[in-house]
Structure 1
Amino acid sequence: MTSHNKQIAFLFLGLILSLFACKQTENSEEQEAWVSIFDGETLNGWKSVMGQAAFEVSDGEIIGIAKHGTPNTFLITEQLYDDFILEFDLKINHISSNSGVMIRGQFDPEAMDGNGLVYGYQIEADPTDRAWSGGLFDERRRGWMYPLDLNPAAKAAFKMGEWNTYRIEAIGNTIKSWVNGQEAAYVVDDMDSKGFIGLQVHSIRNLEDEGQKTYFRNIRVQTENLQPTPFTGDVFVVNTGVNELTEFEKANGWKLLFDGQTSNGWVGAYKDHFPKEGWHIKEGILMVEASDGSESMSFGDIVTVDKFSAFDLAFDFNISEGANSGVKYFVTLSENNVGSAIGLEYQILDDENHPDAKNGRDGNRTLASLYDLKTADKQPRYVRKPGEWNQGRIVVHPDNKVEHFINGVKVLEYVRGSEDFRRMVSESKYKIWENFGEAPEGHLLLQDHGDEVKFKNIKIKELN
């Protein structure tokens, strides 16, 4: 080998060694970024609160053991965390072993007659057929914030009887979760910025389920130089900010229909201007004031200037006690009828205190129902009371399948123009309108029904 060739060989070898050293440094820095918060042998740094279920350590695992006759039990960190990335493995072997991990959790030791109360964000481990593992539940507070009806693709990620790897990122006001690499929940919320990490053993109803076990291992956290992992799928975002969109939402085609400050994009139904009274915009809230409880006779409905065909529409609403309202879609404004403009309606109603809940057929005039046509199949625990904010959602697919949601839970679906849809129309108050609900496009409408109702976070994504 010539001297020149030797020099080239040495330079090449030096480059390889340099790259290897850099890679080793990167790997070392990555390893150093993770801190184990379970030492694999003891529960040092953790404490059990609220219930009486047991936690023990065996073979590098924390094992939670269900106990009958006691509330949810949590093993919580003594250290509090604000921004972090958390990873852990979790295994459930029995359907009774509902579990989850608290993040930025809160604890009131004086509550529940001195037994203490854990509350706050929890990422779910759901062994039932509902399959909401990875969803976000607000324990003892607002309830479900991100049920996996909002992200059906994630329902298959969790595996019963096997180890499941969770990743949770809580950075700023954004919380994201993954189960076995599958993107699950995406929530923007600022209620809690700091708290503990906690492992849950859920309460059990049946004595025969006592002793069932939930397993945790490889619990580690990063708290410095955090780099958020971007979601790559077209995942719905629950954003509790006021009339704000994340960059992720914008990139996926979402836009606001109400900017929080003006009536731009809205006019009165059958009018060329926004109502001069009755409808108000204040502090990012669009509100229709109470009048006499009549249907669109005082201040009138408002409609979008634009028309829509296939779309994903989300909106937050807050009703006064006993209130009646609605969000209508495929409104053509061609009927020139008296009262509210004609269209398919997502019913907004105080089911407990408004008489219309008992009218119609089989509850088809209750909250989140397709008004006078199809009843929302919902459980009361998924609905927030008058005076609290609920999130409605209407998805109209390009193939005319339509879905209604309340607070992230799907409560009905139907297909516009189908034989079943036309049968429902023929048995309803809408039978007098030819081809009701089958227009190729239409306006969106917020209803004035004489009661105070507030709206915010009205956002839409057109679907192709």
Structure 2
Amino acid sequence: MTNNNSTRIFLVLLLQFTFFLTYGQDGWEMLFNGKDFSNFEQLNGNAKYKIEKGEMIGTSRLNTPNSFMATKKAYGDFILEFDVFVENGLNSGVQFRSLSLPEYMDGRVHGYQCEIETSDRKWAGGIYDEARRGWLYPLSRNSQGQNAFKPGEWNHYRIEAIGNNIRTWINGIQCANLVDDVTASGFIAFQVHSIHQEDLEGKIVKWKNIRIKTSDLEKERNNVALYAPEISYLQNQLTPNEVRKGWRLLWNGKTTEGWRGAKLDAFPEKGWVMEDGTLSVLSSGGAESRNGGDIVTTAAFSNFELSVDFKLTKGANSGIKYFVDPELNKGEGSAIGLEFQVLDDKEHPDAKMGKNGNRTVGSLYDLIRAENLENSRGKNFNGINKWNNARIVVKDGHVEHWLNNVKVVEFDRFSQTFKALVEKSKYEKWENFGVIPEGLILLQDHGDNVSFRSIKVREF
């Protein structure tokens, strides 16, 4: 055999070996080669990134914005796996399907982020929408996922982004089960979070074994865990899983079907508009039920789970009521029922009325103040002119209010405690308030411009 032939054979074998290392036998590709950042670019902040022993290492720097080591290539559907170690107290994350555009906040990185954190909140593995919508999938409804991350150790992450399904696992335990269709493709980036405390400067986060698969994904998918509830942000649509579990749309996004005025036999002729999949009550100067008036479902509900997206304008007031009996109040004002308060807490005076904040957003109006029952970080409110989600769960006497998937109110409507609260409230004059066997669901006209969409319910 000639030297030339030997050289050719050697080169072929070397290429095959390199291909095996890079792509593996099953289509996996090493996203980070462990040697250099030739396929990456650093965006936004100036935290330090370096490579040691094949690991990507990010070091926090005081008073610099969030820093991102981003792929130059965009990825749509994929499965991403990596190992990460983060020092205690430092927050981090991995961006995916993310963008940096000059026309959006001067190039600020925005998009989906899989959370890496060591805090007592335990939302590692949740999905945050960086610089856009905030938390999409906190782990407040997934207690098993909350305990997946092990502080002070290497943790193995897996992110599946296939179509509008986004799912995450840490150490084999499912954390997020999200359905969202806002961004279909973008870069992947490894974050060093901004810090403003001197004792956090110099802390590190390390990644290794970063690999990605972009083909033949269906056969590679993990099974969905029963303990990881699906949270969908599809507008006025139900997922196949929601249909299977008995969810139905209470508003179809187009017509008045299933709704009427609380004090009318038909839908109001004025005061409410339906446009681009959004149902809005118009402003009439803050006069309660003086324009179109409240609207209610034509069907009554007893045990149910209700989900409603709402958006407040500045200074606005409204509410989502349940166990409504339209016969209780035939005079002026709103129909009577238990109320999930929808309010601009900063601008509307009602937030400072009542007792101990029991008229603020998410509260059981005039009865129980909404507060974060999961951790001490305050209510998970997205803000004014942004979409928020109200979730109300009723099982016999047990009732829960959830604001953007964080529990804020919990009570038993048949308890002596509830009865005592009613007796000290504006509702004391209404017989059987809050304890009727079934009632209508209501969207309130309080004279302010408030919008609703994705109104859906399932009954137990």
- The bucket for the TM-score relative to the shorter chain is 0.7 to 0.9
Listed one character per residue, the Cα deviations across residues 114-150 of structure 1 (whole Å, up to 9, x for unaligned) are: 8x63221111112111111111111112211221224
Structure-2 residue corresponding to 1:340 = 334
- The residue identity in structure 1 corresponding to 2:207 is F
Structure-2 residue corresponding to 1:241 = 234
Distance 1:129 1:224 in 2: 37
- Report if aligned partners of 2:68, 2:189 keep a CA contact under 8 Å in 1: yes
Distance 1:57 1:121 in 2: 25
- Correspondent of 2:298 among 305, 314, 324: 305
Compute the displacement of 1:382 (Å). 3.7
- Correspondent of 1:446 among 443, 447, 455: 443
SS at the partner of 1:32? coil
- Correspondent of 2:425 among 425, 428, 441: 428
- Report if aligned partners of 1:292, 1:298 keep a CA contact under 8 Å in 2: no
- Report if aligned partners of 2:379, 2:403 keep a CA contact under 8 Å in 1: no
Distance 1:136 1:167 in 2: 13
- The residue identity in structure 1 corresponding to 2:298 is V
Distance 1:200 1:292 in 2: 46
Structure-2 residue corresponding to 1:319 = 312
Structure-2 residue corresponding to 1:57 = 51
Cα 1:49–1:357, aligned 2, differ >3 Å: closer, same or farther?
same
2:387 is equivalent to residue 396 of structure 1: no
Distance 1:261 1:285 in 2: 8
Cα 1:30–1:60, aligned 2, differ >3 Å: closer, same or farther?
closer
Cα 1:174–1:415, aligned 2, differ >3 Å: closer, same or farther?
same
Distance 1:151 1:332 in 2: 35
Sequence identity (%): 48
- Correspondent of 1:406 among 403, 408, 416: 403
Compute the displacement of 1:327 (Å). 0.3
Structure 2 gap segments, 5+ residues each:
1-22
Cα 1:343–1:450, aligned 2, differ >3 Å: closer, same or farther?
same
Structure-2 residue corresponding to 1:251 = 244
SS at the partner of 2:70? strand
Listed one character per residue, the Cα deviations across residues 8-61 of structure 1 (whole Å, up to 9, x for unaligned) are: xxxxxxxxxxxxxxxxxxxxx983311111223433422333222222333332
2:112 is equivalent to residue 121 of structure 1: yes
Distance 1:269 1:330 in 2: 13
Distance 2:379 2:306 in 1: 23
Cα 1:406–1:153, aligned 2, differ >3 Å: closer, same or farther?
same
Distance 1:118 1:288 in 2: 34
Instruction: Count the aligned residue pairs.
Output: 432
SS at the partner of 2:115? strand
SS at the partner of 2:420? helix
Structure 1 gap segments, 5+ residues each:
1-28
Distance 1:87 1:46 in 2: 17
Structure-2 residue corresponding to 1:105 = 98
Compute the displacement of 1:300 (Å). 2.1
Compute the displacement of 1:445 (Å). 0.8
- The residue identity in structure 2 corresponding to 1:137 is Y
Structure-2 residue corresponding to 1:34 = 28
Cα 1:271–1:153, aligned 2, differ >3 Å: closer, same or farther?
farther
Compute the displacement of 1:274 (Å). 2.2
Cα 1:332–1:220, aligned 2, differ >3 Å: closer, same or farther?
same
The normalised TM-score by structure 2 is: 0.86
Distance 1:104 1:81 in 2: 6
Compute the displacement of 1:186 (Å). 2.8
- Report if aligned partners of 1:311, 1:461 keep a CA contact under 8 Å in 2: yes
SS at the partner of 1:33? coil
Distance 1:453 1:311 in 2: 24
- Correspondent of 1:181 among 164, 172, 189: 172
Compute the displacement of 1:383 (Å). 2.7
- The residue identity in structure 1 corresponding to 2:414 is G
Compute the displacement of 1:329 (Å). 0.9
2:165 is equivalent to residue 168 of structure 1: no
Distance 1:344 1:144 in 2: 27
- The residue identity in structure 2 corresponding to 1:225 is D
Distance 1:352 1:391 in 2: 19
Distance 1:261 1:401 in 2: 33
SS at the partner of 2:366? coil
Compute the displacement of 1:160 (Å). 1.0
- The residue identity in structure 2 corresponding to 1:62 is M
- Correspondent of 2:348 among 341, 344, 354: 354
SS at the partner of 2:418? helix
Distance 1:297 1:109 in 2: 45
Alignment of 1:151-162 (within 5 A): 151-162=142-153
- Report if aligned partners of 2:58, 2:205 keep a CA contact under 8 Å in 1: yes
Cα 1:155–1:397, aligned 2, differ >3 Å: closer, same or farther?
farther
Structure-1 residue corresponding to 2:357 = 363
The normalised TM-score by structure 1 is: 0.86
Compute the displacement of 1:87 (Å). 1.2
- The residue identity in structure 1 corresponding to 2:37 is L
2:78 is equivalent to residue 88 of structure 1: no
SS at the partner of 1:97? coil
Structure-1 residue corresponding to 2:324 = 331
- Correspondent of 2:458 among 445, 457, 461: 461
Listed one character per residue, the Cα deviations across residues 415-443 of structure 1 (whole Å, up to 9, x for unaligned) are: 22223322322221112223421223221
Compute the displacement of 1:326 (Å). 0.4
Distance 2:298 2:149 in 1: 44
